[in-house]
Structures are given as C-alpha cells and as structure tokens.
Structure 1
Amino acid sequence: MATSEAQLREKMTLFWHGHFACRLREPRFALLQHNTLRAHALGKFPDLLLAISKDPGMLQFLNNQQNRKQRPNENFARELLELFTLGRGHYTEQDIKEAARAFTGWSYNPQGEFVFRARQHDRGQKTFMGKRGNFGGEDILQMIVENPRTADFLTAKLYAFFVSDVPNPERIKDLSSYFYETGYDIPKLLEKIFRAKWFYGPDVVGTKIKSPIELLAGLQRQFDLTYADGRSPLVLQRALGQELFRPPNVSGWAGGRNWIDSSTLAFRLRIGPALLQEAALEVNLKPDDDTEPTAPRKRRQDGLRTVRAKADLSGLHQQMQEAKERELIEKLSQKLLQVPLQPETAALIQQHIPSGVAHADKVTLLTLRLLSLPEYQLC
C-alpha cells in the first residue's frame, strides 16, 4: 500500500483480507492466500469466492480438512453463509448442515494445492435453500451468488469500508442492485461509487476514522518514511490494534470507532510527529504468547519496543516553495487533511511557530502540528 502504483488493488486486497479473515500459522499458506486475494481483488466476486473456498489457508483455518461424509464439520459452511456471503438471518441451521455435506472432501496437500478427496465426499441428496440435488461445493457457491442477498451483504460492507460507517439504505440498495446485475463485477461497483456526486459530499468526506493500516501506509507514502528496523511496522500495528495477517477472529476487524479509545488516540497523535522528527518512539506492548512480534531482549522490560524512522520532506518542501507565508497553513491543511481546518485551530498552530524561521523549516513545523491534530485521523 505504501509503495505500489496499483493503489486501488492494494486497498481492495486489504478489504478482502479483513472480509475473509484468517489467522494462519503456516507462512506459505498466508502468502498463497494473500496472492489469491490480490489476484481476484478487482475481478468478479464469484471467481474470488470459488478461489478462496479452495484456498489451503481457509480450509485449514476453518477445519474443512476434517469435513468428511458421515462426520461433517460445519465450521467452513457456517462462516461462508454468515460472514462471507449472505449474512446472519438469511439462512437456516439446516442450510449449514447441508452445505457442510456438500463441501466434504475439499482439502489440500502439503504443497498448498487444493485436493478433492472423492472417498471423503458425501454424494447423497441434499436440500439447500429450498433446492434439492446431489450438490457439491461448487453448486452451493453458485446458489449463494444467485441470491441477491449476497450482493446486499457485500455492498453494505464495501460502503462501510469506502464511504461511511453510517449506512444509507437507499444508496446501498441502488448499488447492490447494480452489483448483482453486473454479475458481481467489483471494478464496476467501485466506479459507480467513486463517480457518484454524493461520494464527494460533506456527509462522506472526512467522516471515517483511518484504520491503523491506512494511517501507517499514508504516513509512509506521504513522507517517504524508512524504518530503521524492519519489525517496527509490526510493533506499530500491534500497538494500534490492527496487525496484518493476524485478525482478531474470523469476523475480522470491527473498524469505525472501535479503532479509537483514550490510549490509542493519544498514541496516534504522537506517531506522525515522532517519526518525521526521527525521534525514538517508545512503545509498550502487552505480552501475548505467539502474537508477540519481537522476542524480549535481555535486561529489557518485557513488551517495551523502540521505533525509529527517517522521513524525506523534500517533495513537500518543493510543492510549497511558491506558497506565500500567509497561505502556507491553508495549502498544507488542504493537502494533509480531509476536513477543513477551523480558523481558530489554524491561528493557534501559527502562534506556536517561532518568528523568523526559514520557509522550509516553517513548512516542516506546520506539518508536524497538522499531523498531531485529531483531524489527521479522518479520511
């Protein structure tokens, strides 16, 4: 997200990573799943759904390798219906049981390749969502995407991710119908959202709280940040509550106001200024068995980490080179903030800038002040 030219694909990969949330211990499987999500991130949802349903990481995480005829395991079938497609309340317990039978025999080999184990598959008649037949896993997936409720569920989640945490039923209904009509074409749905006039309205712009990953990727991209230690981004993710490849559960990250509490907000406001000034940012992590991103060193308090980074502000200085002194705060706030800077806040910031400082130094000082504002946490 911080370095790629394919920004939308990376953002959608992040979305699907949270939607199909898996916490995998096997690095190879995590990489395979990540590549699958990226490859299908801007394709059609039925193709992505089939690919992720055959993904070894998903099958392992939801125990489908234990799903065999006469001994069905319902974990994958349950999450498929509840969290990945239809949403709670739009299926029955019997649908889960019958879907689980259809996915018996779906497994993988040690190389991370999908394997259909025919001897373990239940070939009996199954009744799923009012239809009866000798269904296999592919049949279940097809019936799921044929149900318009799947489009409703996915569209609502994409709306919350890109637009607002407050749902707008009329907009979502219109978008969902279009998504369904296009055969779940993800790029067409996103284009419809991004071309809508309301997407740029005051009720949308600057109303969402940046996720920790969006915050960190934005800082790294805007200011060409380079971390002194390759593990530092993991430490920051952990401290902020969103560690990639380690979602809290199969539901993924809750998002929205859940990103903010009294401690995380204070830490968020310190991150930008500290990293841009190459200051040592001390981070206290709670020890947490296998999720501890770095092992404690000898004679150091358990959980204490130091993060350092180097920023390059030359690009920003160049962009602001022609800006007059009285325009600086306005131009910088327009570039760095998604919400208008209140006049009283702008005046207060400028009061703390020493008189007589060089133009480039003033740009740097104003930038540090803007990054320490709550407004910088919004997108």
Structure 2
Amino acid sequence: MTDRRLVSHLLRRLTFGPTSAEVDAAARSGFEATLRALLRPAADPAPPDLGPDPAARLGRDSTREQRQAARREQAGQVAALTRWWLERMAAGGAAEKLTFFWHGHWATSARKVRSAPLMLAQQQTFRRYGSGDTGPLVRAMLRDPALILWLDGQRNSRKAPNENLAREVMELFTLGVGAYTEDDVKAAARVLTGWQVDRVAGTARLETRRHDARPVTLLGRTGTLDVDGYADLLVRHEAHLPFVTRRLWARYASADGLPPADVTARITAAGRDTTALLSALCRDPAFAATTGTLVKQPVEWLVGAVRQLGVPIGRLSAGEHRRLVSTLQALGQIPLRPPSVGGWPAGVAWLTTASTLTRLRAGQWLADLAPEVTDRLTGDDRLDVLADVLVVDGWTDRTVSALRAVTNPKRLLATALASPEYAIQ
C-alpha cells in the first residue's frame, strides 16, 4: 500500500469522509504526523441552546393537551439537536467520529428518553471522557440521566429491583457475554438501586430510601459497593480491555469477524486510554490490511458525501435538512435513535437493494447541490476525477463499465456514490 493510500485509509476510518485536499495534506505530512494530529484532544464545541426540557413542567395534574404540546416541543428539540450534530459531523475531525462511536456503543434513544437536553448532556459526556481512560467514562455513564431512563434505572429500587441497566452495562458496554453470572447481575442491580432522574436539573441523584446498601458479592469481590466501586470493578476486569478493543476494531477496522488474538493482545497492551487504544489499532500491521472490508454506516456515508462534495450543510434550508434526515431514516440510521440497546448493525446488513436505490436517489439530490464537482465530470478523465473527489483508491472493472455508460455528470456522480467502492471503505 502506498503512503497516499495508507493515509487515505487512516482518514477514512478516523473521520467522516476525508476530502481530497485533506488527503493531499496528510500525504505530505506522513502517516505518523497525521495520526497524531487526528488524535490530538479537541476543544468541546459550543452546545446548542435547546431550552428547558418540556417534560420538566408537567405534573400529575397536567392535561392531555399539555402533554401533547410538550411532546411536540420535545420532538422539535430533538430535531434541532440532530441538525446541530450533523453539522458538527460535517465539520470533520476524529473527535466527532469518536463521539458517534460511543453513541452507538452506549446506545441510547431519544424515542424513550424524550429529552433533547439529556441526550445532549450524554453527548457532552462522550466528548469529555470518551478519548481518555475508560474508568471515568464508565463512572459518568452509570450516573447518566438519559441512560438511566433508557434502561429503566429509575425503576430500580430496594423493594423492586430492576436488572436492565446492570445487565446491559456488563453485557453490551464493558465486559461482554460470558464474563459475568446471573448472580453478578442481581448484585449489580442492588448496587444501582435508588438512582432517580431530575428532569428540571438535568441530573441523576441517589435517593437513599430507595437504595439497597447491604453488602454484595459482585465479580469476585464481597463488600459494600457504590456506583464508583462498581465501575472500578468493571474496568479492572480482565474481560474489559479485550471487549472494548473488539468494539473499536469492529467500527474502525473491520466488521468481518473478531480481530485475531495476537492483534487484540498488541492493542490492549496500550492500556485503558481510548486514544492510546486507537493509536495502537491504527499502527498495527493488521489495520492496513483491512482496507475494503468495512461497510460505511449510513451516517458515515451521507456525512462523508456532504463533506467531499463541499455541500454547505450549515446553510441548507430547513426542508433540505429534513431531506437529509429522511434519507438517513430510509437507510435505517438516524442519530439519537438507535433501534435498541444493542445499537446499530454492522457490515453487510447495510447493503440491501433498497439501500442502494436510496443512496442512488440521495446521490442525485446531492449532485444538484454540488455544481462545482459535476462541472468537472465532463472530460475523458472523469473517472479519475470521481475517484479523487470521493477518495476512492480505485474502481473495479465492473464499476468502470457501469460508470462509463453514464454520460450525464449528475447521474455519473450519483452512480459513483451508490457504488460498492464508495459504500465499502
């Protein structure tokens, strides 16, 4: 793999679709300098002003009309947050891609939480802690109001234990199946009893009268545990680092099976710091060999296309933004709305006949918004121009035949955006 292809591969994986100019700059800087720059800490973006949570003003005596009005206001806030986040993604950078990774990992949906401020607060937690040691991140997430509501943690009390949050924290977020027992789930649920969400303050607090403070035996330790003690047990468990490494590999390297044991061992040697883990993953010889194996998630596909075509997403009309979201809905992935606590699927699940047709239609619309690109697709070098603009290493003979049969520049661009070479990076 040439140096240019290597940095292209790196940029495709760590960001939301690199532009040709970004690849040029990275090729001049080299792989190591580019990797360090991508993983350098980024300043947190100024959050949008969403206003207070409408549900906070509702009481037991609220009328049906008041509740319906609050629901409409909530939906408007979620739409505003989605628009803001898509604009953040299109601004580029590895930090926002990592935020999106954690969103899919700690999958929480606004459909049930019904609070854009709480979903934004969870995003900010990912930005604040997601690039560092997993310990502070896990401690913060166990107190996260959106996650607590999503997994029924507010229903978990001393008299009526609810195991949802305790189970998913171990199975899906920190350890994986087989690293804990049903007794561990029951014990962890007791440790997490009593946490309640205050929608007015946007925080979670421990109500001692609902909390079970008796000693437990959990993950091999017996004693009295609080939330921080439970988090520490999780991140120090021998299964934690390999589990996180496999999840990073699936989203940043290849969804085609687990990384080989020796690759996992080399990456986990970097420790619990997520930036160090990503750095080790990208430097591993196995990473370069994963080119052409990772199917883009719909958000990656659409945001990447917007970036590479120079579509000014921040200046799109409200109707055009709704079309962005409706495209993502048709493709099966809308930010803030994962389908389940398990998050979104990966790999060939995104490659269906229906999704190809949706990408083709969306590509035709995007082509209308990118005249500077389509104006360049009229010469004999148009396939080379396409590959350069879309940062595709090359077209297969089959795709070349399909592209050469298209003479209209806008249709040519749309066809390229729907091609296997663009969908699989």
TM-score range, shorter chain: 0.7 to 0.9
Counterpart in the other structure of 1:232: 323
Instruction: Return the alpha-carbon distance in structure 2 between the equivalents of residues 17 and 212 of structure 1.
Output: 15
Contact 1:99–1:137 (8 Å) recurs in 2: no
Q: Evaluate the alpha carbon distance shift between residue 177 and residue 43 of structure 1 in structure 2; reply closer, same or farther with a 3 A threshold.
A: closer
Instruction: Return the alpha-carbon distance in structure 2 between the equivalents of residues 177 and 344 of structure 1.
Output: 40
SS at match of 1:107: strand
SS at match of 2:242: helix
Q: Evaluate the alpha carbon distance shift between residue 337 and residue 125 of structure 1 in structure 2; reply closer, same or farther with a 3 A threshold.
A: same
Counterpart in the other structure of 1:151: 241
Contact 1:155–1:172 (8 Å) recurs in 2: no
Counterpart in the other structure of 1:375: 421
Contact 2:306–2:366 (8 Å) recurs in 1: no
Contact 1:77–1:100 (8 Å) recurs in 2: yes
Aligned residues: 329
Instruction: Return the alpha-carbon distance in structure 2 between the equivalents of residues 149 and 265 of structure 1.
Output: 38
SS at match of 2:269: helix
Counterpart in the other structure of 1:289: none
2:204 to 99, 106, 114: 114
Contact 1:76–1:100 (8 Å) recurs in 2: yes
TM alignment of 1:179-218, pairs within 5 A: 179=270, 182=271, 184-201=272-289, 204-218=290-304
Deviates most, 338-347 or 204-213? 338-347
Counterpart in the other structure of 1:92: 181
Q: Evaluate the alpha carbon distance shift between residue 172 and residue 117 of structure 1 in structure 2; reply closer, same or farther with a 3 A threshold.
A: farther
Residue 313 of structure 1 aligns with an amino acid whose one-letter code is E
SS at match of 1:108: strand
Instruction: Return the alpha-carbon distance in structure 1 between the equivalents of residues 335 and 346 of structure 2.
Output: 14
Counterpart in the other structure of 1:342: 396
Structure 1: tracts of 5 or more residues without a match: 278-309, 355-361
Counterpart in the other structure of 1:288: none
Instruction: Return the alpha-carbon distance in structure 1 between the equivalents of residues 401 and 148 of structure 2.
Output: 57
Deviations 1:105-155 (A, max 9, x none): 222323111212222222211101221101112111111111120111111
1:79 maps onto 2:133 in alignment: no
Residue 136 of structure 2 aligns with an amino acid whose one-letter code is D
Instruction: Return the alpha-carbon distance in structure 1 between the equivalents of residues 195 and 117 of structure 2.
Output: 19
Q: Looking at both structures, which has the greater relative contact order when contacts are Cα pairs under 8 Å and sequence separation is at least 6?
A: 2
1:123 maps onto 2:213 in alignment: yes
TM alignment of 1:136-285, pairs within 5 A: 136-166=226-256, 167-179=258-270, 182=271, 184-201=272-289, 204-225=290-311, 226=313, 227-228=316-317, 229=319, 230-277=321-368
Q: Evaluate the alpha carbon distance shift between residue 346 and residue 261 of structure 1 in structure 2; reply closer, same or farther with a 3 A threshold.
A: closer
Q: Evaluate the alpha carbon distance shift between residue 365 and residue 95 of structure 1 in structure 2; reply closer, same or farther with a 3 A threshold.
A: closer
TM-score (norm 2): 0.71
Residue 87 of structure 1 aligns with an amino acid whose one-letter code is G
1:14 maps onto 2:96 in alignment: no
Contact 2:295–2:423 (8 Å) recurs in 1: yes
Deviations 1:70-115 (A, max 9, x none): 3221111011111111111211110001111111122232311121
Contact 1:104–1:121 (8 Å) recurs in 2: yes
Deviations 1:165-191 (A, max 9, x none): 122223542245324xx2x10111111
Q: Evaluate the alpha carbon distance shift between residue 36 and residue 74 of structure 1 in structure 2; reply closer, same or farther with a 3 A threshold.
A: same
Counterpart in the other structure of 1:33: 122
Instruction: Return the alpha-carbon distance in structure 1 between the equivalents of residues 338 and 414 of structure 2.
Output: 31
Deviations 1:38-91 (A, max 9, x none): 222212211111111111111111111222223221111011111111111211
Contact 2:108–2:338 (8 Å) recurs in 1: yes
SS at match of 2:217: strand
Instruction: Return the alpha-carbon distance in structure 1 between the equivalents of residues 291 and 233 of structure 2.
Output: 37
Structure 2: tracts of 5 or more residues without a match: 1-15, 17-85
* Larger CA Rg, structure 1 vs 2: 1
Q: Evaluate the alpha carbon distance shift between residue 153 and residue 270 of structure 1 in structure 2; reply closer, same or farther with a 3 A threshold.
A: same
Instruction: Return the alpha-carbon distance in structure 1 between the equivalents of residues 162 and 268 of structure 2.
Output: 34
Q: Evaluate the alpha carbon distance shift between residue 105 and residue 52 of structure 1 in structure 2; reply closer, same or farther with a 3 A threshold.
A: same
Counterpart in the other structure of 2:58: none
Residue 328 of structure 2 aligns with an amino acid whose one-letter code is Q
1:329 maps onto 2:378 in alignment: no
Deviates most, 89-98 or 70-79? 70-79
SS at match of 1:115: strand
Q: Evaluate the alpha carbon distance shift between residue 235 and residue 345 of structure 1 in structure 2; reply closer, same or farther with a 3 A threshold.
A: closer
Counterpart in the other structure of 1:302: none
Counterpart in the other structure of 2:222: 132
Identity %: 31
Structure 1 residue 247, shift from structure 2 partner: 0.9
SS at match of 1:231: helix
Counterpart in the other structure of 1:311: 370
SS at match of 2:386: helix
Contact 1:108–1:115 (8 Å) recurs in 2: yes
Contact 2:390–2:422 (8 Å) recurs in 1: yes
